[in-house]
Chain A
Amino acid sequence: MGNRISKRDFLRQGLTCACGLALTGPLFKAMAGLPGGNGLSGLAPPTKDLWKWSREAIHYISTPRGIKCKLCPQACDIEEGETGDCRTRTNVDGKLYTIAYGNPCAVHVDPIEKKPLYHFLPSSRSYSIATAGCNLACLNCQNWQISQSSPKETRNYDLMPGKVVEEAVENNCKSIAYTYSDPVAFYEYTLDTAKLARLQGIKNLMISAGYINEQPLRELAGYIDGANIDLKSFNDETYEMLNAGTLEPILNTLRILKEEGVWLEITNLVVPSWTDDMEMIRRMCGWLAEEGFVDSPLHFSRFHPTYKLKNLPPTPLSALEEAAGIAREEGINYVYIGNVPSHNSENTLCPGCGKAVIERRGFFIKSFNIKNGACMDCGTKIPGVWE
């Protein structure tokens, strides 16, 4: 048969084809860099070496399996050269290091109401920082470009703790907010900055999902003045599927912050199809009331399509209003609706006389009727940090 191939021919053909195809790899890379090509950046994983912005982490132990991080309930076992789920804590030579220290990728000055904190120095501005990384992986993360990246992948500022405090003072900010991603992911940086800020009389704000273990939280809480904790749902399964977390540790965080005397506000983002079950919201509000959080402002926030939930519509206003109604029925005193401009739920109503003690519109205070922490009309105490 003439069309049978001999072994030699097979090898020759194989080599010819292999050489041709082997060339495709370098060719791909070369052509991608040409005009009209699109480059290959982003294909290689970031390196795990230490750098100027590394510090030895706190809250970890050595185990026979390697390092176990004790910072958050993810409890990552981190082998040599590996990085935890948060992308910021790496095992180098048997020690755990944070690579998120003094290198925020997002630095802004924001109105404090944007955090949102409505009972904490209203109308003031907050110096807001975040490094890359987060210990959760929410499908609806507004800041996913920061939170789902490693500090090695982002464009970062060089802003050590002392410099952060200086900048906050320079920009007339009364507080520093550790925000956008999650301060738990840049715990050591937050802690050191907060210590310095306190010395300068600058308040510290923890804007977080609250997914943190008790010991590190208590240590940090000593320097934190206000917190907004995102209670994303009241269902373990939803927490796992939507956020890659669990519910109980967050409830624990709320309890601890209250015990530690940190001013606390709570946000619940109502995501259509995920967290808009009104029965679940009722159970959540019932729990908050039972646990003594009736005076902690509760913000029901409107979802907008983002990240991996781009195919969902925004939350209907009626759903937010229903949730707010449920919260009031369950005994929560200060209920707000967020991300809905000009909605009348922006105002703070006195639970004693029902009058508006703070009339807000956007980031501005139209009227402020609180004196010495109490309603000017009926004297009911309005909890918060007002001065």
Chain B
Amino acid sequence: MKGEIKRGLIYSLVALGISSVTLQVLLMRELLAYTGGNELVIGIYLSFWMLYTGLGSFLGRYFRVNVEKLVPLFQFILLAVSVIAYLSIPLLRIQHGDFISVIGVTDLILLTLLVLLLPCLVLGMLFPFISGALYEKGTGKVSSYSYGFEAAGNIVGGILIVVLLLIFMDNRSAWIFLIAVNIPAIIQSSGYLNGRYYRLILIAFSLGLLALWASTDIEARFEKRFLAGKELLASADTPYGRLVATGSGEQVNFFENSSPLFSTGDIVPVEEPVHLGMSFVPDPQNILVVASGNPGFIDELMKYKPGKIDYVTADPWAFRVIGEVIDIPEADVLDLVFTDPLIFLRDPGKGYDVILVLTPPPSTAAANRYYTTGFYDLCRSHLEDEGLLLTSLPGGGNYLNEADLQLHSLIYSTMDQTFSAVEIVSLNNNYFIAGNREITPDLFRHHQLLEGKNDYYNKDYLQPDLTAFRSEQLASQLDPETDVNSTLFPRGYYIQLRSWLSLFGFRMDYFLYPFLFLLLLFLIFLKPVQIGIFTGGFTVSAMQFLLMISFQSLYGDIYLAVALFIAVFMGGLSLGSLVFGKLVKDVRMRHLLLNQLWLLVSVLALPLMAWSVSTSQGASAVLVYSGFGLLTLIPGFLMGVHFGLGSVLTPGTVRGISSGNYAADLAGSALGAFIVSLFVFPLFGIFSSSYLLAGFNLLVIIIMLSRSKIVTLH
């Protein structure tokens, strides 16, 4: 093979890796944005991604023609179908009318199933094509080199896309990058082709795609359509999700990840929490607000002529978008803080008389961060002796179902652990007021000060006797013995997740058993080496999901960090598959078994690290990030070694080994991500899911050991 062509194919493999991670991040962000930031989408998404890519890889082996000639064509097809897949998300939702009702879990699964089909199949096929063209007469060992080159591309792609998104903060630049990376790959790999026109056509079409993205803001065009005639006022991608401002009549609406943040002119959600919170303190001077960026709170607080208002948003980027559209009040006493609230609170600082936590309910792991013991402990350290904290949950109106009651009990217990007194007031929302002193409700303590200034929070609308009746009724139903909500036991999120699943009639038992049956089939019919690779894939993808959820519970910006996770994981994978030959000279089955055991140990390290983080509140971010990095890198490395060992232990041609083992790996990864995210995690949480995963690895080791007696090993 000519050196130039070989270099071209190696670049193609790296470009494939870059494309894979970039596309993965772009599509996942798009789906997250349309599903209210519900992190469950990560698991469903990873599983279908792996499944389709595995299937593509498996099908790739059946192409009997000269695969090297297919490479440039499929590289172009990959670009084309990726663009179609990306744009089909808003298109399908417009078609289906989903933009006017919340998307359910079945729709989410179907949407993911449909959107990922073509790009992942093509991605999967390209891997055996390129590695086959590159090492047509190689052995299993060189198959793992291909794996390494592709993974190297993943790392480069992961890092570049994070940098790109941090700088430009939009998906459009990431698309231009994706297409631009592939054009040289098409040019290089088409060196195989004899027909000049064919080559020129492919290159021309690719350049056309690039020009299309560069010249038109396609996303904005879709967004306008998506808003069904409403005016798009502003939009931006932030590390926490997609922010959009729309206008309907005189009203301006702000959305984050398709969920409403707030609307102007809607006074009840603004007046109620502010004046209720202030009513518990005789002379509130220093106030901290942790909220979604609604400037309406500031106007209400200014009625008290306070000495200081610190306003921190759950998404520090929110004010930038909000400020583009509506006026944010300015005052000497007001300090808008552009930092994550948890980071802000970790700095020892002044004492507040009132802390108002007006964040969305814990329906995502990110939002759950503001309802945990860790968060309340931080708040308490910033409260004056007589100070109080107020937070709320959406009221159930006239009745709370079991899930909501459980959530209310959970938040009550969590606050009760930190504060000596917790009081509940049931109004439009249900409020929890906590402090380290006796709390006596007096809804209209500042009545004289507010006379005639409030539209809603006054004696005309709120009747203290009826409020007291409802509040007592609610308090009497709570279970104070409920477990608490913490960062790494995000029980609030679990409850909300299960509630969401049941809202759409999702019966776990109907879905779980077919998947367990599928798992059984794989364990019976795969050869021992492939069982090892399958289980490895299962374990690391499930771990990836659990790690991302843990990270999200701590920091809340997975929308950006997802690319880093993938890059670090792929780094480990690449390293493992490239160096395994140096670690093990004479590869035997027992090496695979030993490596499986190391995977098991790495799974157990996850709860250990989680425990360390949760017990060392205030540990430096560098340390925590390093912990997450290592826990992402090590399983990746072990999986790379696993794949390498498996490739050597599998007889056959490079293309056969690549596609067969790659397919087993990805099938395991798909099942791992799907079963763990949709069934195991919502039921057991992060810690118990890790134990179950370790148990599964142990079971597989036993099966492999027992099978090793009946197979001939090298």
Listed in ascending order, the chain A residues whose CB lies under 8 Å from chain B are 2-3, 5-6, 9-10, 12-14, 16-18, 20-21, 24, 27-28, 31-32, 34-38, 40-43, 105-106, 108-111, 128, 130, 139, 142-143, 145-146, 149, 153-155, 180, 272-274, 304-305, 307-314, 316-319, 341-342, 361-364
Contacts and interface: CB of A to CB of B under 8 A. Distances in A.
A341 B267 contact: yes
Nearest to A179: B398
A14 B519 CA distance: 12
Contacts of B703: 13, 16-17, 20
A13 B396 CA distance: 52
B523 A40 contact: no
Given A31-B684, A38-B495, A180 B524 contact: no
B699 interface: yes
A143 B688 contact: no
A16 B706 contact: yes
B347 interface: no
B461 A38 contact: no
Interface in B469-519: 469-470, 477, 483, 489, 491, 494-495, 498, 502-503, 507-509, 516, 519
Interface in B222-269: 228, 246, 248-251, 253, 255, 258-260, 263, 265-268
Contact of A21 (B100, B101, B459, B516): B516
Contacts of A14: 520, 524
B527 interface: yes
B691 to A, nearest CB: 8
Nearest to A142: B397
Contacts of B266: 304, 314
Given A38-B494, A42-B502, A342-B456, A312 B260 contact: yes
Nearest to A342: B455
15 contacts: A2-B712, A20-B703, A31-B683, A37-B683, A37-B685, A42-B403, A111-B466, A308-B101, A309-B102, A314-B251, A316-B249, A316-B250, A317-B251, A317-B265, A363-B463
B707 A13 contact: yes
A307 B394 CA distance: 11
Contacts of A41: 402
- Most chain-A CB neighbours within 10 Å: which of B249, B258, B498, B519? B249
A248 B130 CA distance: 64
A37 B684 contact: yes
Nearest to B513: A25
A272 to B, nearest CB: 7
Nearest to A309: B101
B523 A17 contact: yes
Interface in B653-704: 682-685, 687-688, 692, 699, 702-703
Interface residues of B, number: 74
Given A31-B684, A154-B399, A318-B250, A111 B463 contact: yes
B680 to A, nearest CB: 8
Contact of A362 (B461, B494, B502, B685): B461
Contact of B469 (A109, A142, A312, A363): A109
Contacts of B36: 310-311
A311 B258 contact: yes
B109 interface: no
A145 B396 contact: yes
A312 B489 CA distance: 31
A36 B507 CA distance: 22
Given A6-B710, A309-B102, A180 B463 contact: no
Contacts of A309: 100-102
Contact of A5 (B494, B688, B710): B710
Given A105-B399, A316-B265, A145 B685 contact: no
A23 to B, nearest CB: 9
B327 interface: no
A314 B683 CA distance: 34
B219 interface: no
B460 interface: yes
A8 to B, nearest CB: 9
Given A13-B524, A43-B507, A362-B460, A110 B466 contact: yes
Interface of B: 36, 99-102, 228, 246, 248-251, 253, 255, 258-260, 263, 265-268, 396-404, 455-456, 458-461, 463, 466, 469-470, 477, 483, 489, 491, 494-495, 498, 502-503, 507-509, 516, 519-520, 523-524, 527-528, 682-685, 687-688, 692, 699, 702-703, 706-707, 710-712
A38 B520 CA distance: 26
A41 B498 CA distance: 10
A139 B98 CA distance: 12
- Most chain-B CB neighbours within 10 Å: which of A17, A32, A130, A313? A313
A71 B268 CA distance: 38
A297 B68 CA distance: 76
A363 B397 contact: no
Contacts of A20: 699, 703
B291 to A, nearest CB: 17
A316 B251 contact: yes
Given A109-B469, A316-B251, A311 B711 contact: no
A43 B519 contact: no
Contacts of B402: 41-42, 153, 155
4 A-B pairs with least C-beta separation: A2-B712, A362-B460, A318-B249, A316-B249
Given A17-B520, A38-B684, A105-B399, A311 B251 contact: no
A88 B130 CA distance: 63
Contacts of B683: 28, 31-32, 37-38, 40
Contacts of B455: 341-342
- Most chain-A CB neighbours within 10 Å: which of B101, B265, B268? B101
Contacts of A105: 399
Nearest to B228: A273
B687 A36 contact: yes
A319 B707 contact: no
Given A24-B516, A317-B251, A361-B460, 13 more contacts: A3-B711, A3-B712, A5-B711, A13-B706, A20-B703, A42-B403, A106-B398, A145-B396, A145-B401, A153-B401, A305-B260, A310-B36, A311-B102
Given A316-B265, A317-B265, A109 B466 contact: yes
B710 A274 contact: no
Contacts of A40: 683
Contacts of B503: 307-308
A143 B509 contact: no
Given A342-B456, A362-B461, A143 B397 contact: yes
Contacts of A362: 458, 460-461
Contacts of A10: 524
A145 B400 contact: yes
A371 B189 CA distance: 92
A178 to B, nearest CB: 13
Given A21-B520, A311-B36, A342-B456, A9 B710 contact: yes
A76 B477 CA distance: 35
A145 B520 CA distance: 39
Contact of A308 (B102, B456, B702): B102
A307 B349 CA distance: 40
B134 to A, nearest CB: 28
A342 B253 CA distance: 21
B498 A38 contact: yes
B498 A311 contact: no
B673 to A, nearest CB: 17
A311 B260 contact: yes
Contacts of A32: 683-684
A20 B101 CA distance: 41
A311 B403 contact: no
Contact of B249 (A2, A24, A128, A317): A317
A118 B127 CA distance: 71
